[in-house]
Structure 1
Amino acid sequence: MSTSAHKTITCTPLPPRRETHRRTRAADQAWNARKRARARQARRQITFQLIAGAIAAALLLVIVIHALSGSTSAGHARSTTPSAAPATPTATPQVTSAPMTPVAKPPLEVTGDLPDDTTAPSVPEAAGTTTEVVPGTVAGREGGDVVTYRLEIEQGLPLNPEQTAQNIHAILNDPRGWGRNFTRTDGAADFRIVLASPHLVDSLCAPLATHGHSSCRNGTTVALNAMRWVEGADMWKQLNKTMTDYRIYMVNHEVGHFLGHGHLGCPSPGGPAPVMKQQSADGGNNSGCIPNGWITDYDRP
């Protein structure tokens, strides 16, 4: 019987499981802590970026608003500061007192009969109902507040537009007139003068009844009856007044209404009538006053 050799085997004991579990849990806790720290840092970064973006957007908005405000203020300053060359007015009627560029300056004082502007013997009751603006810009008198007006003449009337325009401009700017600088323009204006047939004048004056023989002021429109402009009024003829005298009255009386003046009576029989007295009656003696188309002291407030 043989004897076999015995080997000695040394077994190294495994570490206890509990220790392994403790190390794993500690590692997990550390990893989770680092994860939470990174998440907090990421959230802080995102929050910082959002705040920075909001601040930048707010600053940009302030800059844009400031720039727009500055541009608007500058534009307003330019629009209210007179320039050497005023802009050409638009065709839309509006109230304006912008200085106009003078292109012509006929004599302003009426010293005798105005040149006849009639090219035919009579005015029809109705014409084309379409008005045409007399072109051009003409400066008014020196001094006085600038008041702009536009002259329109109904098509189909027996009138010379250029001569009519010169006559009306001379009346308005005569030293005996309303004392304003009446500047004629073919664009936007403070008011317009329309020389028209009786039919169109009745339409322009409504609801005031002019019955085909009167003139009127309606808002910013001064409507002059072309039949009266050509034929005048009987009372003026009977009292040895000329067509020029009556036309001066027509213009100054109706423009006086635009300037805010109402009707007046005869303050002193035998003396000149105030221009704001109604003086177109075909007959009578003008309440004892001498027919007159110029402004009197009684007309002034």
Structure 2
Amino acid sequence: MSEEPLWVRYARQWGWRAYAIPVLAIITVWVLVDVFTSPASETDTGAAEPTPAETETSQPMAGPDPADTEPVEVPFTELPPGAPFAEQGAGTYRTVGTPGMVAGEGTEQVIRYVIEVEEGVDTASMGGDDALSAMIDATLSHPMGWTADPRFRFEHVAPDQDPTMRIQLTSVGTTHEICGNDLAMETSCYTSAGERVIINESRWVRGAAPFEGDLGSYRQYLINHEVGHGLGYYAHEPCGGEGELAPIMMQQTLSLNNDALAETDPNEVYRIDGQTCIYNPWPYPNLMP
């Protein structure tokens, strides 16, 4: 018997696969040739589709640069732009916050304070009553605050625990009634009648131009400055030197420049010397790195 041809034995051994394997090999070769010879624009690279901005310009978009715009000058008599505030409250107050914060040694003074909000003043835009209370507690217990002086101690107490100071967030109209309005601008005050720290809500909401939009620092300054009056620091203080941190008892709400403050009230302590300080919310800012 003659020997069978190789292709016959191959077909008998592999059956239908003898036909399928060559076909698959041909298809594979064809696909590879097509991929490597097709134009790049016709192949799928897996990259994301370009966005409209990428197709319109070859340069990436640049964010806003403050150097391209001049800062807005806000006169003494105007508040910075911002959220609305109450023009007139009811003149009565509600107690807010949770008593319990204690800070400082108190070798000479122990300030037992309550926190109150005038009825008609809505604290929702500033985080609510508890946020206001937490901000005041944190400021009065801060290591750079008044308790850095061992003479002072602060205790946040309930209304029935003989408070010696009331810190009150107050509408513009009521602030004017209590503090007076000798200056044609919005300010806060401390009054010994009832030992009250009157926080003008318009300033709490809008801040002050010298703080350059740093609302948190301004609120800390406002608390420390007015409480400072309550501790016995009745006089204001001038800027101590060009580029230095402003003293906490400087009227930083109005200006950081001695000349400007002297022009505002010639009877104050400010001298015409051209000195301008840097805003500072703390009585003892150099006690922390």
TM-score, shorter chain, exceeding 0.5: yes
The CA RMSD measured in Å over matched residues stands at 2.5
Contact conserved, 2:169 with 2:200, CA < 8 A, in 1? yes
**Distance across 2 between alignment mates of 1:283 and 1:158:** 30
Which residue number corresponds to residue 218 of structure 1? Answer: 191
Larger CA Rg, structure 1 vs 2 = 1
Residue 169 (str. 1) matches residue 137 (str. 2): yes
**Distance across 2 between alignment mates of 1:211 and 1:189:** 33
What's the offset of the Cα at 1:140? 1.5
Which residue number corresponds to residue 48 of structure 1? Answer: none
Contact conserved, 2:217 with 2:281, CA < 8 A, in 1? yes
Q: Percent identity?
A: 31
Equivalent position amino acid for 2:132 in 1? T
Cα gap change, 1:194 to 1:168, in 2 (>3 Å):
same
Which residue number corresponds to residue 149 of structure 1? Answer: 113
What does residue range 9-20 of structure 1 map to in structure 2 within 5 Å? none
1:292 paired residue among 250, 255, 280: 280
Structure 1: give runs of 5+ residues left out of the alignment: 1-119
Residue 277 (str. 1) matches residue 241 (str. 2): no
Which residue number corresponds to residue 196 of structure 1? Answer: 170
1:209 paired residue among 179, 182, 185: 182
What is the TM-score normalised by the length of structure 2? 0.55
Q: Higher relative contact order at CA 8 Å, sep ≥6: structure 1 or structure 2?
A: 2
Contact conserved, 1:199 with 1:212, CA < 8 A, in 2? no
Contact conserved, 2:94 with 2:119, CA < 8 A, in 1? yes
What's the offset of the Cα at 1:212? 6.0
What does residue range 1-301 of structure 1 map to in structure 2 within 5 Å? 121-134=83-96, 136-141=98-103, 143-145=105-107, 146-159=110-123, 160-179=128-147, 180-187=152-159, 188-206=162-180, 209=182, 211=184, 213-219=186-192, 220-237=195-212, 242-261=214-233, 262-281=235-254, 287-296=275-284
**Distance across 2 between alignment mates of 1:143 and 1:181:** 5
What's the offset of the Cα at 1:203? 1.5
**Distance across 2 between alignment mates of 1:297 and 1:242:** 16
SS at match of 1:141: strand
What is the TM-score normalised by the length of structure 1? 0.53
Cα gap change, 1:204 to 1:210, in 2 (>3 Å):
farther
**What is the aligned residue count?**
175
Equivalent position amino acid for 2:242 in 1? P
Structure 2: give runs of 5+ residues left out of the alignment: 1-81, 261-274
